[in-house]
């Protein structure tokens, strides 16, 4: 059974076809890279997969279960987590609180209006452990507004990982990072166990090609090329639309 | 003893002994007003401060509760039943408000709550058989819980104080709870909260119900205090007034709405006895707050205090700030 199956997905904004008949099949444990020039519809595809946008037609299956009509928030409970290209975090709160919110999102305790959240030791421990994993444990209590861009990227990843997703969608996790930070994030992603399936959008080919086993090239909302690393890089269409002549 | 628990202890003692040191009954009554308006402002603050949803129709809910209590009493029901029915009607009205207005946020939310508030005002004004129209409804007696007659200003003050402290405690527990944290999350990043698995609409709906409960509680205290309710209570100016309490004191803080309620009530009742154009004064104060402390009196004062402290003694101030930030 595939981890994620997308069949004939279409989405238009007015007359603009952003996603045109996209079909994907991602196997469990796979590392899939989605590339494509600006405006190819990569982030829109993510938004359709996570349910933030509703497709005009087509279907999405998560481990064989049809989730096309399932609301976005339920998909998180079914094991789907994502990070955002434009960092979407809680700037007023500490790093720890950001991760705690991610943990709380899947816990029934999120409806409890009577207990003190800061006294819930297991949340704090789990959040701390997730920050340990991304190397931010030492600044867990720092307000997010006082962190660097690279640290925020790692907070994004920590929040996604702490939800123990089966499918993890990473939208340009290396965007805007320095070479050192990029290496840190790369190490972090390589350390994610194989029971997590990863789909990643990335422009930075050096790090991305190394990471991915299969690559899908999108262009004007359509899948142009799909295959393993060598096939896609060697394909003349990839050179034409993406890598340059 | 550090500054915060000391200040809380002083405030508590001052409130508990207030009828003994206030110069007269009049000022005890002003204090009662401040306390029930503070409960109202705390209720609105749940939405404005913690949910990021600005309501301009809360006076409608406040008034509906007051009318419900007044009407029940007029029909001859006892105080406990009238209070219970008024609370249920107040919260149910909020549920209807929420179901209609949570379809949008931002300006849309403001406009829908404004319209709903105006509808309730119109009903209070025109549905004369129920509300008495312009003549309003009178409430003949105040309740006598546990044999204490609330018709006396001091006992009414103490009853209001107890309810105020319970409401404040409820708000404090809510804000620190997971649901409170989730609510603030939906205020700051609704999209992210949705992706993290939260039901943003339902969280906001819960917040509305809690806000409605506090509003209803204050509406009941109001109607027993004035022993009279007229359409004026539901007017847009009343909604704006309580919103100003929240914003001037500091939205999203627990102390802010209380300070804001104190400011507005004191200017409206006490200062208006000395200055005929008290509306002008209130306006000037708000303009000053917006310019000098846009975040509100409570957070603004805290900021200035920290600034002054640091300037005077840079060494110890810095250490204190660091130690204070840790727990």
pLDDT score of B324? 35
Residue B144 binned pLDDT confidence (cut-offs 50, 70, 90): confident
Among residues 147-206 of chain A, which lie with CB inside 8 Å of chain B?
159, 163
CATH code (residue B211): 1.10.3470
CB A103 within 8 A of CB A185: no
- Which residues of chain A neighbour B200 with C-beta distances below 8 Å? 73
pLDDT at B57 over 60: yes
pLDDT score of A242? 72
Is residue B173 in some structural domain? yes
Is residue B11 in some structural domain? no
Is residue B17 in some structural domain? no
pLDDT at B318 over 70: no
CA–CA distance, A208 with A114 (Å, rounded to integer)? 45
- ipTM value of the model? 0.91
What mean pLDDT comes out for the span A100-119?
93
Residue in A52, A105, A122, A167 to test binding to B, most B beta-carbons within 10 Å: A105
Residue in B177, B179, B196, B211 to test binding to A, most A beta-carbons within 10 Å: B196
pLDDT score of B191? 93
Cα A159–Cα A163–Cα A165 angle in degrees, nearest 5? 115
pLDDT score of B5? 87
CA–CA distance, A223 with A41 (Å, rounded to integer)? 10
CA–CA distance, B112 with B273 (Å, rounded to integer)? 36
Residue from B285, B264, B320 nearest B38 by CA:
B264
- Which residues of chain A neighbour B197 with C-beta distances below 8 Å? 73-74, 76-77, 105-106, 163
Q: Are the Cβ atoms of A100 and B326 closer than 8 angstroms?
A: no
What mean pLDDT comes out for the span B269-279?
86
Is residue B142 in some structural domain? yes
Whether chain B has a CB inside 8 Å of the CB on A70: the answer is no
Structure tokens at A63: 């481990």
| Residue of higher predicted confidence among B316 and A4 | A4
Is residue B303 in some structural domain? no
Largest alpha-carbon pair distance within chain B? 70
Residue A209 binned pLDDT confidence (cut-offs 50, 70, 90): confident
CA–CA distance, A20 with A23 (Å, rounded to integer)? 9
CA–CA distance, B184 with B176 (Å, rounded to integer)? 10
Closest residue in B to A97 (Cα) is B181
Model pTM score: 0.91
Q: Tokens 């209380």 label which residue?
A: B258
pLDDT at B321 over 70: no
Q: CB-CB: which of B177, B185, B210 is closest to A116?
A: B177
What mean pLDDT comes out for the span A16-37?
92
Whether chain A has a CB inside 8 Å of the CB on B198: the answer is yes
CB B261 within 8 A of CB B169: no
Q: Are the Cβ atoms of B206 and A113 closer than 8 angstroms?
A: yes
Cα A168–Cα A174–Cα A180 angle in degrees, nearest 5? 125
What mean pLDDT comes out for the span A211-216?
89
Residue from B246, B243, B223 nearest B297 by CA:
B246
pLDDT score of B75? 93
Q: Are the Cβ atoms of A112 and B173 closer than 8 angstroms?
A: no
pLDDT score of B276? 84
Residue from B199, B209, B286 nearest B46 by CA:
B209
Is residue B3 in some structural domain? no
Q: Phi/psi at A34 (nearest 5 deg)?
A: -115, 120
- Which residues of chain B neighbour A112 with C-beta distances below 8 Å? 177-179
- A198 pairs with which residues across the strands? A31, A168
Measured in angstroms, the CA of B175 and the nearest CA of chain A are apart by 8
Per the prediction, chain B carries an average pLDDT of 90
Residue B277 binned pLDDT confidence (cut-offs 50, 70, 90): confident
pLDDT score of A244? 61
What mean pLDDT comes out for the span B278-285?
89
**Other beta carbons within 10 Å of B284:** 11
Residue A243 binned pLDDT confidence (cut-offs 50, 70, 90): low
CA–CA distance, B71 with B59 (Å, rounded to integer)? 18
pLDDT at A152 over 80: yes
Q: CB-CB: which of B173, B199, B326 is closest to A73?
A: B199
Structure tokens at B294: 């846009």
B282-312 residue pLDDT tens: 899 999 998 999 899 999 998 888 888 876 6
Domain range for residue B273?
23-292
pLDDT at A23 over 90: yes
Residue B313 binned pLDDT confidence (cut-offs 50, 70, 90): low
- Which residues of chain A neighbour B180 with C-beta distances below 8 Å? 113, 117
B207-260 residue pLDDT tens: 999 999 999 999 999 999 999 999 999 999 999 999 999 999 999 999 999 999
Residue B320 binned pLDDT confidence (cut-offs 50, 70, 90): very low
Closest residue in B to A118 (Cα) is B176
Whether chain A has a CB inside 8 Å of the CB on B327: the answer is no
The three-state secondary structure class of A227 is strand
pLDDT score of B80? 92
Whether chain B has a CB inside 8 Å of the CB on A82: the answer is yes
Structural domains counted in chain B? 1
Q: Tokens 């129920």 label which residue?
A: B130
Is residue B317 in some structural domain? no
What mean pLDDT comes out for the span B269-288?
88
Q: Are the Cβ atoms of B174 and A97 closer than 8 angstroms?
A: no
CA–CA distance, B43 with B239 (Å, rounded to integer)? 12
**Other beta carbons within 10 Å of A244:** 6
CB B160 within 8 A of CB B35: yes
What mean pLDDT comes out for the span A225-231?
88
What mean pLDDT comes out for the span A48-58?
94
Is residue B224 in some structural domain? yes
- A31 pairs with which residues across the strands? A198
The three-state secondary structure class of A167 is strand
Percent of the residues in chain A that have a pLDDT greater than 70, as a whole number:
99
| Chain-centre distance for alpha carbon A189 | 11
- A169 pairs with which residues across the strands? A82, A199
Residue from B217, B231, B214, B227 nearest B86 by CA:
B217
pLDDT score of B169? 97
Q: Are the Cβ atoms of B196 and A52 closer than 8 angstroms?
A: no
| Chain-centre distance for alpha carbon B280 | 23
Domains for chain A: give ranges and CATH numbers: 1-79+165-245 (3.40.50.300), 89-164 (no CATH)
Interface A-B: count of C-beta contacts within 8 A: 87
Burial A135-155 (b: 16+ CB within 10 A, else e): ebbebbeeebeebeebbbbbb
């Amino acid at each position: 059974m595939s981890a994620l199956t997308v069949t004939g997905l279409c989405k238009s904004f007015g007359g603009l076809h952003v996603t045109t008949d996209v079909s994907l099949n991602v196997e469990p444990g796979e590392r899939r890279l989605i590339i494509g020039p600006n405006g190819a519809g990569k982030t829109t595809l993510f938004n359709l997969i996570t349910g933030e946008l509703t497709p005009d037609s087509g279907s999405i299956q998560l481990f064989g279960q049809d989730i096309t009509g399932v609301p976005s928030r339920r998909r998180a409970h079914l094991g789907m987590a994502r990070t955002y290209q434009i960092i979407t975090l809680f700037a007023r709160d500490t790093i720890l609180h950001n991760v705690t919110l991610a943990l709380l999102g899947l816990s029934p305790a999120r409806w409890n209006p009577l207990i003190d959240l800061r006294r819930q030791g297991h949340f704090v421990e789990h959040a701390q452990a997730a920050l340990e994993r991304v190397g931010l444990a030492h600044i867990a209590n720092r307000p997010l507004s006082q962190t660097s861009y690279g640290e925020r990227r790692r907070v994004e990843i920590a929040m996604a990982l702490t939800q123990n997703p089966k499918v993890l969608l990473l939208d340009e996790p290396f965007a805007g990072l320095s070479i050192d930070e990029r290496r840190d994030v790369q190490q972090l992603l390589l350390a994610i166990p194989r029971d997590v399936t990863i789909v990643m959008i990335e422009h930075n080919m050096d790090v991305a090609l190394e990471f991915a086993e299969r690559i899908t090239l999108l262009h004007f909302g359509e899948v142009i090329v799909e295959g393993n690393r060598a096939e896609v890089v060697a394909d003349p269409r990839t050179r034409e639309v993406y890598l340059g002549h | 003893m550090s500054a915060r628990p000391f200040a809380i202890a002083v405030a508590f003692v001052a409130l508990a002994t207030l009828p003994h040191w206030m110069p007269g009954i009049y000022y005890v009554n002003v204090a009662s007003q401040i306390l029930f308006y503070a409960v109202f402002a705390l209720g609105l603050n749940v939405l404005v401060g913690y949910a990021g949803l600005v309501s301009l129709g809360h006076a409608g809910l406040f008034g509906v509760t007051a009318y419900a209590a007044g009407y029940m009493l007029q029909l001859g029901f006892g105080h406990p039943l009238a209070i219970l029915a008024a609370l249920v009607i107040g919260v149910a009205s909020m549920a209807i408000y929420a179901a209609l207005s949570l379809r949008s946020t931002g300006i849309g939310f403001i406009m829908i709550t404004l319209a709903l508030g105006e509808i309730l005002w119109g009903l209070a004004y025109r549905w004369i058989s129920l509300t008495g129209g312009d003549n309003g409804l009178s409430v003949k007696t105040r309740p006598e819980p546990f044999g204490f007659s609330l018709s006396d200003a001091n006992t009414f003050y103490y009853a209001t104080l107890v309810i105020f402290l319970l409401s404040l405690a409820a708000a404090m527990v809510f804000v620190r709870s997971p649901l409170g944290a989730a609510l603030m999350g939906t205020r700051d990043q609704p999209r992210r909260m949705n992706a993290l698995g939260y039901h943003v609409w339902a969280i906001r709906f819960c917040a509305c119900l809690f806000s409605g409960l506090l509003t209803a509680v204050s509406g009941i205290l109001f109607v027993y205090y004035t022993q009279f309710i007229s359409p004026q209570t539901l007017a847009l100016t009343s909604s704006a007034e309580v919103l100003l309490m929240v914003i001037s004191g500091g939205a999203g803080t627990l102390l802010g709405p209380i300070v804001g309620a104190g400011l507005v009530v004191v200017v409206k009742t006490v200062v208006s006895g000395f200055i005929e154009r008290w509306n002008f004064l209130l306006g000037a104060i708000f303009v000053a707050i917006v310019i000098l402390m846009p975040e509100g009196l409570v957070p603004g004062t805290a900021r200035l205090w920290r600034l002054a402290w640091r300037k005077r003694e840079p060494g110890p101030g810095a250490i204190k700030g660091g130690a204070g930030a840790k727990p």
